[in-house]
Copies of this chain bind each other. A is one copy, B any other.
Amino acid sequence: MLEIELKASLGGISPQALESALKKAGFAPGQIKEETDIYYNGNDRDFRKTDEALRLRSSRVLTGEVQSKTFITYKGSKVDSRSQTRPELETSVGDLDVMKKLLGKLGYREVMTVRKQRAYYHRENITVCLDEVEGLGRFIELEQVEEDGTAKKEAVIDRLLDLLSSFGIPQSNLLRESYLELLMASATS
């Protein structure tokens, strides 16, 4: 599975204007979640150099019945220079605290925690997220999941760029960096 993903800062666009543009474009509002992501560095290599990521995500659904879930995720390095596309492996984990201790015993060290509130919008196989990230501000993510590999990747990226443009967000707002990278950059600047 490949997730093809674009991210941009909202810049001058208000979240309200964007929400109504999304609805006009046929996107249906989905869940709102509070996500706390703990990122780890490698124990035998530096993930900042290999462009990999190991993450424990604690996700709390705020819409409907409140429920919490934990996931462990591995992300490989980005596969092209235009998008944030990476191979990804993710599964649920029963107990966050036990998994944190287990990773600690294996030698993984926490490097950063990213907290955000994320509102989901869906249209067919495209998901749009409006994110408010603690310490960073507001962002939009557009994601299309392709089960059958990289064949149509360039076409999908063009389609997502058109969509972004139709929301009034210029390509100059695009960001290749993850929230983790942006937070680490702002912490050291």
Contacts and interface: CB of A to CB of B under 8 A. Distances in A.
Interface residues of A, number: 23
Contacts of A106: 42, 54, 74
Chain copies in the assembled complex: 2
A95 B107 CA distance: 23
B90 A98 contact: yes
A105 interface: yes
B90 A93 contact: no
A32 interface: no
Contacts of A107: 44-45
Contacts of A99: 72, 91
A74 B44 CA distance: 18
